[in-house]
């Protein structure tokens, strides 16, 4: 029963984390397009609160529940094939993306953004591709 509770909490945490990973770069798009100081300040506040108040805790919860799940069946996960190795590699990349978002939040707050809204539109697609790959790896287990 513990395993199922952990799995549910892991999935809920992951959904919250990805909600932030999808929305924060969209805020970057709007922030990069804004021209007045009131809008720029408002976007900086929204970005900071989303990153620190939702994304950070959700990432930590996702990792804690994921590691806990992994510790319960580590032998089985790592002997069944390479899908778990691939998933964990993608999770490491996602953590890097998360921290890149955090660095960008700080750049915007300091008024040092040098990228256009077009860059952020493409940047926003990275977590979509990672989510797609992770879900396929976990459900299909292709290798």
List the binding residues. Answer: 10, 87
Structure tokens at 11: 């999935």
CB neighbours of 142 closer than 8 A, spacing ≥ 6?
Answer: 83, 136
Annotated binding site for heme: 10, 87
Structure tokens at 133: 């790959």
Determine the Cα angle at 46 with ends 44 and 49, to 5°. 105
Name the H helices within 34-82: 37-49, 56-72, 74-79
Distance of alpha carbon 98 from alpha carbon 107, whole angstroms: 14
Residue 31 CA from chain centroid, whole number? 19
């Amino acid at each position: 029963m513990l395993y199922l509770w952990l799995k549910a909490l892991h999935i809920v945490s992951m959904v919250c984390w990805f909600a932030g990973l999808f929305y924060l770069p969209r805020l970057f798009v709007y922030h990069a397009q804004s021209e007045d100081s009131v809008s720029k300040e408002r976007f900086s506040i929204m970005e900071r609160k989303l990153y620190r108040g939702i994304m950070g805790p959700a990432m930590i919860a996702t990792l804690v529940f994921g590691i806990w799940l992994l510790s319960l069946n580590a032998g089985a996960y790592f002997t069944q094939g390479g899908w778990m190795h691939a998933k964990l590699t993608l999770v490491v990349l996602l953590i890097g993306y998360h921290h890149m978002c955090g660095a960008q939040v700080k750049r915007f707050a300091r008024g040092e953004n040098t990228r256009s809204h077009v860059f952020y539109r493409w940047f926003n697609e990275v977590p979509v591709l990672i989510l797609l790959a992770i879900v396929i790896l976990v459900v299909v287990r292709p290798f």
